[in-house]
Amino acid sequence: MARELPIGTLLDSADPTPARIVAPRLNRHTFWCGQSGSGKTYALGVLLEQVLLHTRLPLIVLDPNSDFVRLGDLREDAPEEDAAALAERDIRVFRRDDEKHPLHVRLLGMPLISRAAILGIDPMHDAEIYNAMLHIEPEAQSIGQGQLLPYLRGAERDVLRRFAVRLENLGVAEWSLWAWGGRSVTDDIDEEPDATVVDLGSFDTHAEFRAAALGVLDHLWENRVSRRPRLIVIDEAHNLCSPDPVDAVHALLTERIVQIAAEGRKFGLWLLLSTQRPSKVHPNALSQCDNLALMRMNSARDLEELANVFGFAPESLLARSPEFGQGQALFAGGFVPTPAVVQLASRLTHEGGIDVPVPLR
Ligand SMILES: Nc1ncnc2c1ncn2[C@@H]1O[C@H](COP(=O)(O)OP(=O)(O)O)[C@@H](O)[C@H]1O
Ligand SMILES: [Mg+2]
């Protein structure tokens, strides 16, 4: 299989010269940046298609805007050979309430601290409820869909009935996300399909969206000692990894991603974080990235920050970013032979959530 993944052509070359990503160097974390509409998601798709074609590295895509739900759907103009190879890949797309692949995770499979955050229970402020939660653990394992609230309401202990009221108010027990006794998306991830797309955009609330992401990332982290390589792709990564988390679950997600950024590499957990501005992602995740892809970005301040963090990206190339056209990007770091501006190739598969057109009369 190819070591080098063709992703487009070099912009500064007189003759058409293919631009390549060095596949073995995807074993570092990658930061993918560009202002909204610069083509990050499209370009990410170009790379992911090549990873699928030429490597056995399983992809896990946390997809907040349902942009990658058609990663397995080939465009009619895709070259025959690529189309035939891609058609054979095992690409599983998990969406809320999907018949074949419903996006479920097991609440009780998650670490206690994550579960408490999702259920809005603070170990210090809500010490009594937290403690009660600990004690119902063994029994709670067998609780099925729709049974949790009745179980708590019927409990003798007052604290459990108060727990029920709180859960009911939050609506958490009714989320379609929970697997209860059934299959979880993490069971599929463990089977190592070529790609697992987690369509976070299919949920109505940010709370459920974040809980789904936490379920997946907790699972990957807890099983890190298996050292099975994975490329964890997080589009719009600020939703999950922010210097200013909006709630306890957001804070745990940020902590988890920072931890994977700092320590995941040796376990084969490699991040690809995409976002609009460097300052939107937690600095401790940013500083661990050894690969950079930069699309159009107008803000001088953001470019300065990128220059500071990614010393390996030549400032003369960074400075060209405000002039980049559609599908143009600067690649720098270990995953390219040399820093270069690239015109990206066309997608082989369909984009999911493309821009909404203005309705015309
Ligand atoms: N290389 C390209 N060729 C054709 N269309 C593109 C290309 N890059 C982006 N687009 C289109 O531009 C729009 C914005 O791209 P998108 O990848 O969603 O940007 P971002 O993720 O940075 O907000 C989309 O409608 C997409 O189809
Ligand atoms: Mg996008």
Is the pLDDT score of 1 beyond 60? no
Take residue 123 and report the two structure tokens written for it: 């170990």
Chain mean pLDDT for the chain: 95
CB-CB contact of 25 with 269 (8 Å)? no
Give yes or no: residues 151 and 272 share one domain: no
**Ligand 1 pocket check for 327: Cβ under 6 Å:** yes
Taking the CA atoms of 213, 344, 323 and 291 in sequence, report the sign of the dihedral they define.
positive
Confirm whether 359 is domain-assigned: no
**Ligand 1 pocket check for 354: Cβ under 6 Å:** yes
What pLDDT score was predicted for residue 357?
67
Q: How far does residue 19's CA lie from ligand 1's centre (Å)?
A: 19
261 versus 353: the higher-pLDDT residue is 261
Tell me the CATH number at 292. 3.40.50.300
Is the pLDDT score of 281 beyond 70? yes
CB-CB contact of 33 with 331 (8 Å)? no
**Ligand 1 pocket check for 355: Cβ under 6 Å:** yes
Take residue 25 and report the two structure tokens written for it: 């160097």
> Which residue minimizes the CA distance to atom 10 of ligand 1?
39
Give yes or no: residues 122 and 155 share one domain: yes
**Ligand 1 pocket check for 40: Cβ under 6 Å:** yes
Q: How far does residue 71's CA lie from ligand 2's centre (Å)?
A: 14
Ligand with minimal distance to 237 CA: 2
Instruction: Please tell me the total count of domains within the chain.
Output: 2
What pLDDT score was predicted for residue 358?
80
Taking the CA atoms of 149, 218, 179 and 137 in sequence, report the sign of the dihedral they define.
negative
pTM over cut 0.85 = yes
190 versus 181: the higher-pLDDT residue is 190
Task: Give 328-346 pLDDT, tens digit per residue.
Answer: 999 999 999 999 999 999 9
Asked which of 155, 174, 193 is the last residue of a domain, the reply is 174
What pLDDT score was predicted for residue 353?
64
**Ligand 1 pocket check for 41: Cβ under 6 Å:** yes
CB-CB contact of 8 with 344 (8 Å)? yes
Domain that includes residue 240, residue range:
4-104+184-344
Section 137-165 average pLDDT: 89
* Band of pLDDT at residue 11, cut at 50, 70 and 90: very high
